């Protein structure tokens, strides 16, 4: 009985690592799939935030 508990504990210990690797793989696949739209969105946000003409006009 003691051996069974130790064996089940060891298998559960590695489960968190596998889950994290799978989640990272899914996020990378999504990023690669939507790369162009993510790049356009990031450029639009950066352009809006760091638009010097708007900043100078507000001063």
Which residues make Cβ contacts (< 8 Å) with residue 31, sequence separation at least 6?
38
Task: Please report, rounded to a whole number, the percentage of residues in the chain having pLDDT higher than 90.
Answer: 32
Percent of the chain's residues with pLDDT above 70: 61
Is 39 in a helix, a strand, or coil?
Answer: helix
- pLDDT given at position 4: 55
* CA end-to-end span of the chain: 75
16: pLDDT strictly greater than 70: yes
Provide the whole-model pTM: 0.49
| CA distance linking residue 24 with residue 7, whole number of Å | 27
């Amino acid at each position: 009985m003691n051996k069974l508990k130790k064996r089940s504990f060891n298998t559960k210990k590695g489960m968190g690592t596998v889950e994290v690797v799978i989640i990272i793989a899914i996020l990378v696949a999504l990023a690669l799939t939507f790369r162009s739209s993510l790049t356009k969105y990031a450029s639009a946000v950066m352009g809006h935030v760091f638009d010097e003409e708007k900043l100078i006009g507000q001063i």
